Amino acid sequence: MILVMKKGATQEMVQRMVQRVESMGLKAHVIVGTELTVIAAIGDDRNVKKESFESCEEVERLVPILAPYKVASRETKPDATVVKVRDLVVGGGHIGVIAGPCSVESEEQIILAAKKVKEAGAKALRGGAYKPRTSPYAFQGMKEEGLKLLAAARDVTGLAVVTEVMTPHHVETVVKYADVLQVGARNMQNYHLLQAVGETRTPVLLKRGLSSTMEEFLLAAEYILDQGNQQVMLCERGIRTFETHTRFTLPLASVPYLKQKTHLPVVIDPSHGTGIASLVPPMCRAAVACGADGLIVEVHPDPKEAISDASQTISPEVFAEALVECRRVAHALGFTMD
Amino acid sequence: MILVMKKGATQEMVQRMVQRVESMGLKAHVIVGTELTVIAAIGDDRNVKKESFESCEEVERLVPILAPYKVASRETKPDATVVKVRDLVVGGGHIGVIAGPCSVESEEQIILAAKKVKEAGAKALRGGAYKPRTSPYAFQGMKEEGLKLLAAARDVTGLAVVTEVMTPHHVETVVKYADVLQVGARNMQNYHLLQAVGETRTPVLLKRGLSSTMEEFLLAAEYILDQGNQQVMLCERGIRTFETHTRFTLPLASVPYLKQKTHLPVVIDPSHGTGIASLVPPMCRAAVACGADGLIVEVHPDPKEAISDASQTISPEVFAEALVECRRVAHALGFTMD
Amino acid sequence: MILVMKKGATQEMVQRMVQRVESMGLKAHVIVGTELTVIAAIGDDRNVKKESFESCEEVERLVPILAPYKVASRETKPDATVVKVRDLVVGGGHIGVIAGPCSVESEEQIILAAKKVKEAGAKALRGGAYKPRTSPYAFQGMKEEGLKLLAAARDVTGLAVVTEVMTPHHVETVVKYADVLQVGARNMQNYHLLQAVGETRTPVLLKRGLSSTMEEFLLAAEYILDQGNQQVMLCERGIRTFETHTRFTLPLASVPYLKQKTHLPVVIDPSHGTGIASLVPPMCRAAVACGADGLIVEVHPDPKEAISDASQTISPEVFAEALVECRRVAHALGFTMD
Amino acid sequence: MILVMKKGATQEMVQRMVQRVESMGLKAHVIVGTELTVIAAIGDDRNVKKESFESCEEVERLVPILAPYKVASRETKPDATVVKVRDLVVGGGHIGVIAGPCSVESEEQIILAAKKVKEAGAKALRGGAYKPRTSPYAFQGMKEEGLKLLAAARDVTGLAVVTEVMTPHHVETVVKYADVLQVGARNMQNYHLLQAVGETRTPVLLKRGLSSTMEEFLLAAEYILDQGNQQVMLCERGIRTFETHTRFTLPLASVPYLKQKTHLPVVIDPSHGTGIASLVPPMCRAAVACGADGLIVEVHPDPKEAISDASQTISPEVFAEALVECRRVAHALGFTMD
């Protein structure tokens, strides 16, 4: 890190900071500029309580130099992580598609949805059994009953099951039915949950928090990796900005950015990312074009009847057509997409 | 709610929507405008799956009319809720002050901090035993050992203890030591946690999520109230915006806004709200001036040595001086502040 | 518009509002709900001083129903506007490419840049002669001398010239040299400038302000259209959000959204939209995939030596390769891109 | 500035950067860390084309160390600038109040407004003659006729006149009538306008752009100061964030932050900052409490009849009461406020 000293800091103040830096096992290097003096602290400072420097009066500000995440870093593991579970392959040039309704509503609905999305080309079925809802008065999901229906849909179609886990003590149950554990955006910094899914060996789809920075996102992944679970997919699902014409703002530049910084695959959720059904197909195509490793799309046999997220849900027919176009884009660019 | 029909919607389409509205137990009222037709749906639609209308092709958009929260609403309970625990009184014209270090670090530190903040006028001691940290490599708190030290500090000073609970299965333990359960910003939409603290009868300090809307904030409170725990304080701690000169942006207009909408008291956290120690005292004064019912401030006997949040932590001396000025402002405006 | 009355509004208050609505030439329709009363005001209220209702104590809030823009609306003109100037064709299924350096720096530089971008497939040359710069100490552009060099580059290559005009009294000069007048993001709401370019018959590239809503963007276009200049391209160049890993956040969902709402063509600027050279090619591909009508890209013969925007500028070689891939995507989806 | 080299940068690459730094008249200092190498470039780099380093492949990123503004800096001029014009005194412990309607509507309206706000304690009258409006269909102001009415109101009351100038060629006219030239938020980066008002010797009220950083704000002031006009007031009027319950988000921490960084006085606009009349008085009090040097408030003799900004406009009675409370706060804290 670099410490920028306040203008007018005396030599004595600088000396005191140097001692402080060195007391932490780092090497200090003083550079006297024409207006300001800076101290470069050399060494791995990831475990050093850096913040404490910012409360020293003589310090103007602290500039971190090293990225705070390690295991998720492309520098640590240059080759791409590929997540494989049943027929779903995400990463390493393979674009995997996950689709299904927002919520599991009934056996009939989830099995019909599974069949339809499989027909269109999806390799995994999404569906919420435990639903985090903004309002306590909204439908909270079918819970374990919903998990059983997802498993039944898997039995019928062979699709892998992706479903959300909301709290650590549900992990044990959800892991019995799910092929991929989804950690939702609201829980991206629910550290006990991250650790709990990290302790399993089931792949994880980690959604970006809606106001998380890329560093926070990668550090959340680091919590999971740190427990030994290496099968982590990062899911960009849109951020909260001043824009109101879409539900969230979908920053697709996250795709190439993340792929430069980390070896983990990147999945795009254009349904939450826009909140508007008619914007989902073009955003699917754009995601594929900029290198996304996967898509997760809300599809319901009859969107009008969906219990939740209806406005951003597309029909199986629209979904199938969108995938036809995505495949064309993928193949034009040399990606594999079945 | 109001349904705005698409331009060119036929009478038949309008009729179909009317039936749909009425099938939900609401009354429909059609208004034919010069360019567009709208349908007003009359009745309490809080439990109706409104979103499904947005996926109907013939609907341009849906405009909710009723606020989605009820129990937290000023309309439901016009008189202010006052939270009282030991000597801390928050609400109803009383400004209560909570202060202490970000983290409990040692017995000596927390007891010294408690004595100092009490001297300055605080009525409650804050201190983190379980710490949500962005990085898995950062200090994660002293856990139950930290809770015991907080209780010891209470024994010495009589201050109420405010401390964070991060996950539902900790509630049972934390509630044994704490006078107020803090739900952190990252957990504002951790619904299982909200329900768990709602099941206790210990007062709750609910921090606003850093990108939560006011509606989401009040609905999170509603989750707690809905379980029967009425002693909820809302804490504005700053939101994430494009601004980078401060750690977060502290929107003090939340204070008068919330006080119009809800009966719950509003507490301001100027430490997280700015992230810069020198901005904490002026923001304390501003909070009091616009009607805040309480303050929660990070104070450490020696800020430079603080393990976490050092850059936003003030010393007991600066804190004492800030409270002197806050009291002047409070008294000038007719508020009670000891 | 819909007026939502405050809870407890008396019949008399409602009556007063009805009169107010009708005094403005609108028809009022009262709907009494179970909790609240609303008044639907029927008629074209675009020229009515709607805001004044919001200051009436008895009104809780006002909900506009009609979009405030008219001429730019897809409803007014269902077929796509195509902007054609020299060989540049933007819109109607044709993807036009504009490229060149941030600033005109010298005759040699701009002519070399023009030749290189033409070779790669661009149909227009961008280059700033008048430069809006955040700091008064930064390079402010070559001004009219720069315009002459752009014209010289056009003579050599046949490329159309796209260049920024910053203030109304420059329009007369710039229009002599430019084929397309660019209105920069900082000037999107510089209404005198919008009117001045609207009075010309030279096509305009209007950049979205970095915190403008879609409504404000379309209303800015409306200022130009309203003066009789129909050749307006809308350029999404990224918005300011909490994200800091990219210079701005590029919300590509703007493309399909705008194309639903307006007949005007939409151009993407991935250079400003990301601020990072390595993210430009993937964002070009994504823009094409989601239906953009054009691209505007910063390309410099030697990016390291660029006077401004160096970090987001790509070399002619990288640009040529990016266009090869964009063409593949375009053709896979049935768009025309030379 | 500090250049952080990419991981794995060879000694030769480092050497090349050192030469580049030194060719710009700066001294280079190489620091080899355990993971990365950084180069500290020493000297005043404000006029150096720093950005070009970011396009060098071997550079990971560039960290500026010096603030880019100079004349506005507190370091350059430690004592506070006080703006005085007629009876308005802003800065140096004096809180000056500017009030009046959004738009000048008629002679009767503006003179009545002037009398009323003077009675309440305002020292200057605000009122828009040239109005920047989002929609081309909205009222655009009375123009020079409006300026004359403002001057008439000054003749009657002695209040200083504060009014907006929207474009450089209006400066000559506006300066004949105005005591303070207001540059609106939409024009904060209209550099030709900044220069034009900088060439006058009339005090300027510079409003913060709604998505401007503090650096951009101070650099905009620098454009004015750089032309020799030293009488600049900075006006915080709220920023655009994801919040929608208020029109903008008013970040009052700007007040103490700016006062640390610059000698220029800081004025708060709680009317635009909230957009809601009932939030204006508490925000006035908060602004005073955290050290604002001035207030600018929208007051209309009959807010319901205001042509523009009605929802955020308060009546003379509410305004008078708000100022009584502000004075109490000011005096409690030792500020002067008449």
The full DSSP string for A226-253 is TTT---EEEEE--B--S--SSSSB-BTT
Collapse the DSSP code of B198 into the 3-class scheme (helix H, G, I; strand E, B; otherwise coil) and give the result. Answer: helix
Q: Do D222 and C135 touch (CB under 8 A)?
A: yes
Give the pLDDT mean for D309-327.
95
Each residue's pLDDT tens digit, A207-247: 999 999 999 999 999 999 999 999 999 999 999 999 999 99
Cα separation of D304 and D50, whole Å?
A: 52
Is B202 in the same domain as B322?
A: yes
Q: pLDDT band for D312, please (50, 70, 90 cuts).
A: very high
Q: Is residue D232 a contact partner of residue D267, using CB atoms and an 8 Å limit?
A: no
Is B237 in the same domain as B102?
A: yes
Is D166 in the same domain as D256?
A: yes
Looking at the partner chain, which of C29, C65, C244 has a beta carbon nearest the beta carbon of B36? Answer: C65
Is B142 in the same domain as B51?
A: no
Looking at the partner chain, which of A52, A187, A306 has a beta carbon nearest the beta carbon of B55? Answer: A306
Cα separation of A54 and A3, whole Å?
A: 9
Interstrand relation of A37-42 and A27-32 (parallel, antiparallel or unpaired)? antiparallel
Tokens of C65: 């129903």
Tally C–D CB contacts below 8 A.
122
pLDDT value of residue B214: 97
Looking at the partner chain, which of D137, D139, D305 has a beta carbon nearest the beta carbon of C46? Answer: D137
Domain count within chain C: 2
CB of A160 within 8 Å of a chain C CB? The answer is no
pLDDT value of residue C68: 85
Q: Residue C69 domain-assigned?
A: no
Each residue's pLDDT tens digit, B177-222: 999 999 999 999 999 999 999 999 999 999 999 999 999 999 999 9
Chains that touch A (3 or more CB pairs under 8 A): B, C, D
Is B165 in the same domain as B303?
A: yes
One-letter amino acid of A238? G
Q: Rounded to the nearest 5°, which phi and psi values hold at A12?
A: -65, -40
The separation between CA A288 and the C-alpha centre of its own chain, rounded to angstroms, equals: 17
Q: Do A65 and D36 touch (CB under 8 A)?
A: yes
pLDDT value of residue B295: 98
Residue among D131, D178, D49 nearest D298 (CA) = D131
Measured on CA atoms in the order C6, C7, C13, C15, is the torsion positive or negative? positive
Is B288 in the same domain as B327?
A: yes
Give contacts of C223 with chain D, Cβ < 8 Å: 136
Q: Residue C72 domain-assigned?
A: no
Tokens of A246: 């879409």
Residue A338 has pLDDT above 90, yes or no: no
Nearest CA distance, A89 vs chain D (angstrom):
31
Q: Do C282 and A245 touch (CB under 8 A)?
A: no
pLDDT value of residue A234: 98
Low-confidence residues of chain C, pLDDT below 50?
none
Cα separation of A286 and A140, whole Å?
A: 32
Cα separation of C153 and B51, whole Å?
A: 55
pLDDT value of residue B218: 97
pLDDT value of residue A82: 98
Q: Residue B132 domain-assigned?
A: yes
At residue D36's C-alpha, the angle toward residues D30 and D41, to 5°, is 30
Question: For the domain that residue C48 is a member of, what is the CATH number?
Answer: 3.30.70.1140
Give contacts of C274 with chain D, Cβ < 8 Å: none
Cα separation of B125 and B300, whole Å?
A: 11
- The residue assigned the tokens 């050599």 is C156
* Mutation to test the D interface, candidates C1, C55, C219, most D Cβ within 10 Å: C55
CB of B290 within 8 Å of a chain D CB? The answer is yes
Is D57 in the same domain as D179?
A: no
Between A19 and D254, residue with greater pLDDT:
D254
Looking at the partner chain, which of A51, A169, A187 has a beta carbon nearest the beta carbon of B311? Answer: A51
Nearest CA distance, B213 vs chain D (angstrom):
6
Residue D301 has pLDDT above 80, yes or no: yes
Q: Do B51 and A211 touch (CB under 8 A)?
A: no
Residues 90-129 of D with CB under 8 A from C: none
Looking at the partner chain, which of D51, D167, D313 has a beta carbon nearest the beta carbon of C310? Answer: D51
Contacts of A72 (CB under 8 A, 6+ apart): A218, A221, A222, A225, A232, A261, A262, A263, A264
Between B207 and D309, residue with greater pLDDT:
B207
Each residue's pLDDT tens digit, A67-115: 888 899 998 899 999 999 999 999 999 999 999 999 999 999 999 999 9
* Mutation to test the B interface, candidates A51, A208, A224, most B Cβ within 10 Å: A51
Q: Residue C201 domain-assigned?
A: yes
Cα separation of D71 and D54, whole Å?
A: 27
Cα separation of D287 and A119, whole Å?
A: 61
Looking at the partner chain, which of A55, A189, A307 has a beta carbon nearest the beta carbon of B132? Answer: A189
- The residue assigned the tokens 């007949």 is C263
Collapse the DSSP code of A224 into the 3-class scheme (helix H, G, I; strand E, B; otherwise coil) and give the result. Answer: helix
One-letter amino acid of A26? L
Chains that touch C (3 or more CB pairs under 8 A): A, B, D
Question: For the domain that residue C223 is a member of, what is the CATH number?
Answer: 3.20.20.70
Between A12 and A149, residue with greater pLDDT:
A149
Is C153 in the same domain as C57?
A: no
Q: Do C243 and A239 touch (CB under 8 A)?
A: yes
Q: Do B189 and A223 touch (CB under 8 A)?
A: no
Each residue's pLDDT tens digit, D157-206: 999 999 999 999 999 999 999 999 999 999 999 999 999 999 999 999 99
Of all residues in chain A, what percent carry a pLDDT higher than 70? 100
Tokens of B264: 């719950």
Is C54 in the same domain as C98?
A: no
- The residue assigned the tokens 């084929």 is C179
Task: Quickly list DSSP for A56-103.
Answer: STTEEEEE--S-S--TTBTTT--SPP-EEETTEEEBTTBPEEEEE-SB
Q: How high does pLDDT run on average in chain A?
A: 93
User: Which residues are registered as beta bridge partners of B38?
Assistant: B4, B31
* Closest residue, chain B, to C74 (C-alpha): B7
Q: Residue D183 domain-assigned?
A: yes
Each residue's pLDDT tens digit, D201-213: 999 999 999 999 9
Cα separation of B122 and B119, whole Å?
A: 7
Provide the residue range defining the domain that includes A141. 83-332
Between B282 and D10, residue with greater pLDDT:
B282
Burial of C218 (0-12, 13-18, 19+ CB in 10 A): buried
Residues 63-92 of C with CB under 8 A from D: 68-69
Is D171 in the same domain as D315?
A: yes
Q: Rounded to the nearest 5°, which phi and psi values hold at A332?
A: -60, -25
Q: pLDDT band for D109, please (50, 70, 90 cuts).
A: very high
Of all residues in chain A, what percent carry a pLDDT higher than 90? 73
Q: Do C252 and A255 touch (CB under 8 A)?
A: no
Give contacts of C38 with chain B, Cβ < 8 Å: 2, 40, 65
Q: Residue A265 domain-assigned?
A: yes
Q: Is residue B199 a contact partner of residue B170, using CB atoms and an 8 Å limit?
A: no
Work out the number of other CB atoms within 10 angstroms of the CB of residue C47.
Answer: 12
Nearest CA distance, D335 vs chain B (angstrom):
12
Cα separation of D170 and D130, whole Å?
A: 9
* Mutation to test the C interface, candidates A249, A260, A276, most C Cβ within 10 Å: A249
Q: Residue D90 domain-assigned?
A: yes
pLDDT value of residue C253: 98
pLDDT in tens, chain B (338 residues): 888 888 888 888 899 889 988 988 888 888 888 888 889 888 888 777 776 777 777 888 888 888 888 899 998 899 999 999 999 999 999 999 999 999 999 999 999 999 999 999 999 999 999 988 888 888 889 999 999 999 999 999 999 999 999 999 999 999 999 999 999 999 999 999 999 999 999 999 999 999 999 999 999 999 999 999 999 999 999 999 999 999 999 999 999 999 999 999 999 999 999 999 999 999 999 999 999 999 999 999 999 888 887 889 999 999 999 999 999 999 999 999 98
Work out the number of other CB atoms within 10 angstroms of the CB of residue D78.
Answer: 8
Is C260 in the same domain as C180?
A: yes
Is the ipTM reported for this complex over the cut 0.95? no
Q: Is residue B159 a contact partner of residue B118, using CB atoms and an 8 Å limit?
A: yes
Q: Tell which phi-psi region holds residue A243, choosing left (phi > 0), alpha (psi between -120 and 50) or beta.
A: beta
Give contacts of C251 with chain A, Cβ < 8 Å: 241, 243, 246, 249-251
Tokens of C127: 């280059």
Nearest CA distance, C243 vs chain A (angstrom):
6
Q: Do B35 and C66 touch (CB under 8 A)?
A: yes
Each residue's pLDDT tens digit, A29-63: 888 888 888 898 888 887 777 767 877 778 888 88
Provide the total of helices (H) and of strands (E) in chain C, helices listed first: 11, 14
Give the pLDDT mean for A145-166.
98
The span from the first CA to the last CA of chain B, in angstroms, equals: 46
CB of A241 within 8 Å of a chain D CB? The answer is yes
Nearest CA distance, C257 vs chain B (angstrom):
14
Q: How high does pLDDT run on average in chain D?
A: 93
Cα separation of B88 and B85, whole Å?
A: 5
Residue among A293, A259, A233, A334 nearest A95 (CA) = A293
For C101-229, list the strands marked E by DSSP: 124-126, 160-164, 180-183, 204-207
Tally A–D CB contacts below 8 A.
53
Q: Residue A260 domain-assigned?
A: yes
* Closest residue, chain B, to A299 (C-alpha): B55
Is B26 in the same domain as B153?
A: no
Q: Is residue C211 a contact partner of residue C190, using CB atoms and an 8 Å limit?
A: no
Give contacts of C36 with chain B, Cβ < 8 Å: 65-66
CB of D211 within 8 Å of a chain C CB? The answer is yes
- Look at residues B14, B33, B63 and tell me which one is the last residue of a structural domain: B63
Contacts of C307 (CB under 8 A, 6+ apart): C102, C103, C105, C139, D49, D52
Give contacts of B211 with chain C, Cβ < 8 Å: 242
CB of C42 within 8 Å of a chain B CB? The answer is yes
CB of A242 within 8 Å of a chain D CB? The answer is yes
Give contacts of C241 with chain B, Cβ < 8 Å: 242
pLDDT value of residue B192: 95
Work out the number of other CB atoms within 10 angstroms of the CB of residue C253.
Answer: 29
